[in-house]
A and B are shown apart, each in its own frame.
Chain A
Amino acid sequence: MVNVAHLIPLFPFLAFWVNILLGKTLHRASAWISIIASLISMVLSISTAQGFLAGAGSYPLGTWLTFFGQPIAFGVIVDPLTVMMLLVVTVVATLIMIYSVGYMGGDPHFSRYFAYMSLFTASMLGLVLADNLLMLYIFWEGVGLCSYLLIAFWFERPAAARAGLKAFLTTRIGDTGLLLGIFLLFAATGSLSFTDLSKANGPEWMLMAAALLIFSGAVGKSAQFPLHVWLPDAMEGPTAVSALIHAATMVAAGVYLVARCFVLFAAHPVCLEVVAVMGGISALMAASIASVNNDIKKVLAYSTISQLGLMMLGLGVGGYSAGTFHLMTHAFFKALLFLCAGSIIHGVHTQDIRLMGGLFYRMKTTGITFVIGTLAIAGVPPLSGFWSKDEILAQAFGPHPVLFITALLTSFLTAFYMARLMLLVLFGKSRSELQTHESPVTMRFPLVVLSFFALFAGLLGSPWMHHAFQKFLAFQVPYPSEEAPSKFVMGLSIGVSLLGIGLAYSIYILHRRFLPEGIRAQFGWLYRLLMNKYYIDEIYEAVFVQPFLRLCRLSFRFDMAAIDGVVNGIANLVRRAGGILRRLQSGFVQNYLLIQTIGVLIVIMTLLGKLCFQF
């Protein structure tokens, strides 16, 4: 068996260099270079998966640098989690690149776009293959860079440039925590390898602090509260980018990291609890914002935050396979939803859902696939989202009542806001005079393939297949019970989904008003709170950003006035002293004689004085 896993990121990386250096000459062809490179990666990933099933495993590659006398090796990890991620990333990336051929068709920076997409794919694949935290960190920053470059891709737009900056800085706050976590873990255990995590022993508080610091990296990357603010703004980038990076793969890297270090978290229940609680807060907060937003991409962005929160919650309640299972199904249906949104924006040239309506009949393929995506995320059986969400609910049920209710409420809101989005965009009457057209075949083909995954990927983990997928994944933590999920939880899950969809249908299609006008007016503040995203951006701006910038300006003034003031002051003092002393050098011989005489007198007096004291 030949090990090919380490070659997987290589081809997209080469495609990056080819496209960045030869972009001008290649122009349209650069798309195909990127697509072929990621197809090769996909084939290699499949062959790695086969190799893994045949018994192949992780292997080392070499030494990167020596760290406190210990060589830090870099190697490739091949286990169920990585195999799953490899397949998800390569499949989704390839499809989205094909989609981009049509979506980015007229863009003047066509080849640069594909160069960045390839660089992203390479980094993301490196991230999931890295067998130690340091290598992971390197690729972690790599995907962050690509995210920055692609958010700010349309650099002429000031909003895009600002969004890129915000994304990079916000995630870097988490990343700095991750770096410190790496240092602390190394200080405690003397190893950074993932395989050594299970036997990590060291001072309890250090391991716990390390786990929490590592989690802070995940919070930044997966846009969890309180570092979630960058993701909605990141929607300034091309929609295909949002689909790949800000929905399906990169933002899931945080969840991947927690799953990858799961044994470390599991050894400290407090840490798991933190993961679950932060996930729960993010899930509910983002779902509530998504319920009122009117921008098709922003709704999906908040939905992503919410779903990632749900995955975190799943991991936090100990559902290792539940969280990672949802990661996979979410990657497919959320990529699908974003690509549909892209197709719609491509067709109608607006993102405001209040201006859309009735598009279903004019964009058939997009419409049908959008419906499939919506039903999948809303948790309607037997689509993929239902099975994975149900796993999370089942895990939370029982020992964690508060978290269970949070997850259930999130499921309800998810069904509601997704149904609202779908109904407002696709059905009802057209609300404005928008010109629409269906997208080209390069864009429709990926939609069809992804909706196939959204329909059926969940079946792998369904009770009908005896939870085969979860058992495959559960190599680190044994899959809890054969019987799960219970009928009760399943029924509840289907119930809230249908309730959410029904509520949206009656409000937005039947135009029913459930609450009397008076009460609705009373809840105006709630609506405003949600419309303004809980004012979190404004609070950060007032509490952190502006005071920090003031501090910077103050330090500069301090530097000029105080420190440099002292330096110049000393220089002036010397000059002035020189000015005074200069008067002695007056050039008059009489003065010199006078000083000389005084000097001689002083010397004599001193000598006399000394003599006097001696006797």
Chain B
Amino acid sequence: MFPILSWLVFLPLGGALVVFLLPKKEVGLMRGVALVSSLAVLILSLRLCLGFAQGKTEMQFVEVSPWIPQMNVMYFLGVDGLSVSLVFLTALLGFLACAASGCILHRQKEYFILYQLLMTGMMGTFVALDFFLFYIFWELVLIPMYFLIGIWGGPRREYAAMKFFLYTLAGSVLMLVAIITVYFSATPHSFNMLELRNVTSTLDFPLQIFLFLAFFAAFAIKVPIFPFHTWLPDAHVEAPTPISVILAGVLLKLGAYGFFRIGFPLFPAAAHYFSFALAILGLLNVLYGACVAMAQTDFKKMIAYSSVSHMGFVLLGLAAMNATGFNGALLEMFNHGIITGAMFLLVGMLYDRAHTRDLNQFGGLSGPMPVYAFYLTFCSLASLGLPGLNGFVGEFLSLAGSFASYRILTAISALGLIITAGYFLYMLQRVLFGPIATNPRQYSDLQATEILTLTPLTIIMIVVGFFPIVILQFQETAVQGLLKWLF
């Protein structure tokens, strides 16, 4: 059998090696290599989705072989309904962000090496099923990201990179402790993420709680859950455009994915115990994130806080502990990746022209930039949950799911929908409407390549908005399987 998952994970690493061997001056060639390898990953991920059998609960495309037999560490990869859409999301955003990397103007060689290393790490995290391997990939994401923000970022890049690195590392260390505890709790000792749930779910309740919280620390920081979110605005704002896209589009999903893959199935009792607390955190994320986003004058920071708010809907769906909520949370993860990815691309395109992100400096851009105005309006509408576009379906299912479990709490969270509409439309008003604030000639409309990077994302927004089944069909069976295990 063709080891498609290994190819998905290690193709970018191969690309990184090729770039490493190229002479420093061959910038075009490096971009070409990175682009080709990420395009190949995208094609492979499509092939994966097409070959994915939707009715099955078990892992598919499994690759398993002993790696460090002395410690019972396995090279164990596989996908199921929880991860397959995220693999596609990673591949798609990986390709588009790579295509948008033309804004990187110095030290391109290191950039493309690190970028592809990052791709390997992210892809690996989503498909690894052995804790040892998972942890390696999880940490592998961290290192290139540190450099990508720290070298190619904005004025406060060093602070932001260090904050991101230390914050996430603090979380992962706790996770490492938990992984080791879990490893020793099984006889024979095992890192198998799937089979361990039979052991961990029988552990003493207090120990389960402790382990869940240790994993929670790692995941909560990544999601990010209030009050562990303050690394995010700094990192997003300082990172260069393509890296912001990856950060918001893919990295935040790692945390939520962790709950689905590890936190909930391994510790069902703890999951039930903490579900209401998670719902409260979800509510806080939604409302607090939206309120802070409303107060922003920096375009990128506004989008960053909108991510905090949107991830709150994922938490609500997760806390619902029912099929509708889980489906909604998973779909919202995918949708948020698509929408916010597009939003960061749009912010970057404006920044390239205006060299500022201050919302009060713009105005009337509908005039000189009608195509840009169309895309910005379109993506904002998707983000604020307009029915017919993808954002609505995820939020709707998450809220409906959590409404079945927590009526009042969900009703309060729904206020977030109003505030979200508020800050997005207020942004549109300041950027696109009104008289033109500054020199209009500086605002040339979008070029063909920019339109090409945005179009696939907008098409997905429409398709998923009208036919959510396209994504839901992949996750439905896995969600049912997870629920059966939880109850």
Contact = CB atoms under 8 A, between A and B. Distances in A.
B411 interface: yes
Interface stretch (A82-90, A385-393, A485-493, A547-555): A547-555
A352 B167 CA distance: 62
Given A67-B324, A549-B294, A168 B288 contact: no
Interface stretch (A156-164, A435-443, A577-585): A156-164
A172 B364 contact: no
A69 interface: yes
B469 interface: yes
A435 to B, nearest CB: 27
B463 interface: no
B438 to A, nearest CB: 15
Contact of A141 (B229, B386, B404): B386
Contacts of B387: 137-142
A158 B435 contact: yes
Nearest to A187: B404
B453 interface: no
A145 interface: yes
- Name the residue in A20, A66, A69, A155 with the highest tally of chain B Cβ atoms < 10 Å from its Cβ: A155
A541 to B, nearest CB: 14
B422 A556 contact: no
Contact of B434 (A141, A145, A158, A180): A158
Nearest to B290: A552
Question: Most B CB atoms within 10 A — which of A162, A180, A556?
Answer: A556
Sorting the interface of chain B by its residue count into under 10, 10 to 19, 20 to 34 or 35 or more gives 35 or more
A333 B116 CA distance: 65
A128 interface: no
B323 A69 contact: yes
B6 interface: no
Contacts of A158: 433-435
B400 A555 contact: no
A180 B399 CA distance: 9
B291 A551 contact: yes
Contact of B425 (A168, A552, A553): A168
Given A169-B425, A553-B295, A555-B288, A145 B418 contact: no
Interface string B154-168: 000000000100110
B403 interface: yes
A187 B386 contact: no
Contacts of A66: 472, 476
B324 A169 contact: no
Contact of B292 (A67, A165, A172, A555): A555
Contacts of B404: 68, 187
A68 B324 contact: yes
Interface in A556-570: 556, 559, 563-564, 566-567
Contacts of A549: 294-295
B433 A552 contact: no
B403 A183 contact: yes
B152 to A, nearest CB: 23
Contacts of A145: 381, 386
Interface string B221-251: 0000001011100000000000000000000
Interface string B404-433: 100100110011011001100110010011
Interface in B270-305: 288, 291-292, 294-296
Contacts of A244: none
A137 to B, nearest CB: 6
A179 B398 CA distance: 13
A64 B467 CA distance: 7
Nearest to A574: B166
A65 interface: yes
Given A172-B421, A563-B227, A552 B292 contact: yes
B463 to A, nearest CB: 14
B118 interface: no
Interface in B85-118: none
A173 interface: yes
Interface in A178-220: 179-180, 183-184, 186-187
B478 to A, nearest CB: 14
A13 to B, nearest CB: 11
Given A155-B432, A172-B417, A183 B295 contact: no
A155 B430 CA distance: 11
A564 B294 CA distance: 18
Nearest to B364: A156
Interface in B372-394: 374, 381, 386-388, 392-393
B203 to A, nearest CB: 31
Q: Which 10 A-B pairs have the closest CB atoms?
A: A161-B433, A138-B387, A556-B295, A552-B294, A552-B295, A564-B230, A155-B433, A555-B291, A183-B403, A552-B291
19 contacts: A65-B468, A68-B400, A142-B387, A142-B388, A145-B386, A158-B434, A161-B433, A172-B421, A173-B418, A179-B396, A180-B410, A183-B403, A184-B407, A549-B295, A552-B294, A556-B291, A556-B295, A564-B230, A567-B231
Given A169-B421, A179-B399, A555-B291, 20 more contacts: A65-B472, A67-B324, A67-B397, A68-B323, A68-B324, A68-B400, A142-B388, A155-B433, A156-B364, A156-B433, A161-B429, A161-B434, A168-B425, A169-B425, A176-B418, A183-B403, A184-B403, A186-B400, A566-B227, A571-B166
Interface of B: 163, 166-167, 227, 229-231, 288, 291-292, 294-296, 322-324, 364, 366-367, 374, 381, 386-388, 392-393, 396-397, 399-400, 403-404, 407, 410-411, 414-415, 417-418, 421-422, 425-426, 429, 432-435, 468-469, 472, 476
